[in-house]
Amino acid sequence: MSVEICVSAEELKKTMDYMALIGPAGLKKKDEDETAGAMRIKAISPKGDYHYMLTFCRMGATEQLAYRMEGKSNNSNEAVDVYVDGKRFIALAKTFMGDVHITFGGKEIILTVGRTEYKLPTVAAKLPELAVPLGGVDISTKFLEYAMKHCAPVIDKSAPGVRGGINFKVGQDGSAVCWAAQSFCAARYAVPSAGGAKGLEITLLPADIQRIAALAEGEDVKLINTPNGIYFSALRFDYMCFCLQGIFPDCEKMQAKYKELKRVTVNKQELLAALNRSCVVAGDNGNVQIYTVGDDLFIETAGACGNGLECIAANEAKGQDDSINYLSASSFLRLVYNCPGDSVTIISTGKNSAYYIGASGSQNHYLLMSRRGGA
């Protein structure tokens, strides 16, 4: 017996936009394999009144998503559970307007909109059930998203395990501190409240945070942390990502080694302009020399392509540090660019040491290690 369910094209398109966030790598064996990127569609009428809840499920290499939407049938209350080629279903569904009639029958699915009709064969595939454990805590997706935006400039996407992620530590009072780190730089982001979460530590990839933020549309979600995976659940969706391998470095302990000697606050746009010019000479992997004289910040660049000198008057200066250090030109530029506001504070900590870089007056900052040698 076939089951025909009518859904809104607008809601279907929105659902397919979310399903497209999940890559097919989890099921892909060969490019020509018809089950590669399979999507599961389940539909039930909970009250037997022709009103359906459809659940679309997809799995990637390290993540799994189930998203729910409503539909209505005129002829059936039967349950449906089939698999289709996810890529083709998503591509077709995102083009429709008006009401879309989805007919599940035998070995095919029929998509009908007005006088337009497409048939897609079902495929033989099997996805694990996305069973969300009980319990969990509420967490702000805005907090996760803001932390990701701040930490993104220091994340190496190719780094394995936790080194490619952002570590979130939420205290018993609800305050949170987040870190992302490479061998030569780190990012720290802190907030007084992370929503309803307390006493929690997780490490997430930026890609997972982007998906959760998109799915939640700014609303808080339920977070359940387990040894096998991290679950995020809301009225419309369930999302799971696997736990990352490794132990995240103790960045608070690392930061404690670098004591402030001098700080200067400069206009952000002036500094960005100076660094952009310096990078022209320094190149992708070159260095800039940085030091202060009185209330002025100096940035020198020298190399086979030429040399340059920038002098920026500080809006504010405090402390004393006569050291001259080298920093990665491109990293310095990237971190300054990501600082919000109109002014940037740079704190030096001595010879061959680290620099704190952050928006003036903010507790959130970057830590950039100095380099040895010249250009």
Instruction: Provide the CA 232 distance to its chain's centre, in angstroms.
Output: 14
CB 5 within 8 A of CB 102: yes
Q: What is the pLDDT of residue 24?
A: 62
3-state secondary structure of 208: helix
Query: Does residue 375 register a pLDDT over 80?
Result: no
pLDDT score for 33: 47
Question: Cβ neighbours of residue 338 under 8 Å, at least 6 residues apart?
Answer: 149, 150, 152, 153, 366
Q: What percent of the chain has pLDDT over 70?
A: 95
What is the tens place of the pLDDT at every residue in 310-336? 999 999 999 999 999 999 999 999 999
Q: What is the pLDDT of residue 105?
A: 87
pLDDT of residue 314: 96
The predicted structure's pLDDT at residue 362 = 94
pLDDT in tens, 158-191: 888 999 999 999 999 999 999 999 989 999 999 9
Fold identical between 3-121 and 137-253?
yes
State which amino acid sits at residue 223.
Answer: L
- Measure the CA–CA gap between 284 and 171, rounded to whole angstroms: 39
Question: Encoding tokens for residue 81?
Answer: 């559970």
In the prediction, which pLDDT does 198 show?
85
Q: How far apart are CA 239 and CA 167, in angstroms?
A: 19
- The rounded Cα 28 to chain-centroid distance in angstroms is 23
C-alpha radius of gyration, the chain, whole number: 26
pLDDT reported for residue 31? 41
Model confidence band, residue 304 (pLDDT cutoffs 50, 70, 90): confident
Judge whether residue 274 has pLDDT over 70: yes
- Average the pLDDT over 268-295 and give the result: 94
- Indicate the class that CATH gives domain 3-121: alpha beta
Q: Enumerate the H helices of the chain as residue ranges.
A: 9-19, 86-93, 141-151, 206-216, 251-255, 268-282, 329-338
- Each residue's pLDDT tens digit, 14-63: 999 999 999 764 434 444 444 458 999 999 999 989 999 999 999 998 99
- pLDDT of 106: 82
Q: Enumerate the domain spans of the chain.
A: 3-121, 137-253, 258-369
- Token pair in block for residue 283: 């190149």
Q: 137-253: which CATH architecture?
A: Roll (3.10)
Closest CA to 166 of 153, 175, 155: 155
Q: Which residues contact 270 (CB under 8 A, 6 or more apart)?
A: 312
Taking the CB of residue 26, how many other CB atoms lie within 10 A of it? 18
Two structure tokens written together for 355: 């620099």
- Give 158-165's long-range contacts (Cβ < 8 A, gap of 24+): 160/245, 160/246, 161/244, 161/245, 161/246, 162/203, 162/244, 162/245, 162/246, 162/247, 162/248, 163/246, 163/248, 164/205, 164/244, 165/203, 165/204, 165/205, 165/206, 165/244, 165/248
Give the per-residue pLDDT at 302.
85
> Per the confidence metrics, is the pTM higher than 0.85?
yes
**pLDDT of the residue at 298:** 97
pLDDT the model gives residue 374: 58
Average pLDDT of the chain? 92
Residue pair 180/161 in contact by the 8 Å Cβ criterion: no
Would you say how long the chain is, in residues? 375
How do residues 120-130 score in pLDDT, each as one tens digit?
A: 999 999 999 99
**Token pair recorded at residue 153:** 């400039």
Average pLDDT over residues 229-248: 95
CATH fold, domain 258-369, is Proliferating Cell Nuclear Antigen (3.70.10)
Instruction: Please say whether the beta carbons of 196 and 138 come within 8 A.
Output: yes
Q: How confident is the model at residue 284 (pLDDT cuts 50, 70, 90)?
A: confident
